[in-house]
Amino acid sequence: MMLTRRLGAVAAAVVTCVAFFVVAPPQASAVTYDYSMKTDDGDPGGIVKFAVDGDYVEICDIEADGWAVQVIVTQDAYGSRPALSYQMHVGGNGNCAVTSAATAGHNLYEDISAEFCVSLGKNGRYGYYVDCEPWYNGHF
């Protein structure tokens, strides 16, 4: 009887774990990005990507050059809603950082554009090789 209870508890735990992994949110690699842009240097060291569905923003350091990557996302006030702004940083060749609408303050307003500015920096000072684009956060 005791063995049956333990096996039942183990089986329930396994089912719970399997169910958790099935409904877990997609990883960044499973996201389909609608926009992308690289830093404005001759041999770009950073890239930013944006997916409208879920407001996923991914930045990556794509060169072993000692520079880190920054993105600043801004969106003007919309109706009675205030302007939005946030930034992300990542450094080290091959390293990436991802955020989405699920992160507080990162849920962009729908059906208007947001400005994305990607740049490089060293020693915490960013603003080198800047490239900016307004990307529409909606479906055409």
* List of domains in the chain: 26-137 (2.60.40)
46-78 pLDDT, tens digit each: 999 999 999 999 999 999 999 999 999 999 998
Rounded CA-CA distance 73/132 in Å is: 10
Per-residue pLDDT reduced to its tens digit, 92-126: 999 999 999 999 999 999 999 999 999 999 999 99
Range list of H helices, 1-140: 2-23
Partnered with residue 40 across adjacent β-strands are none
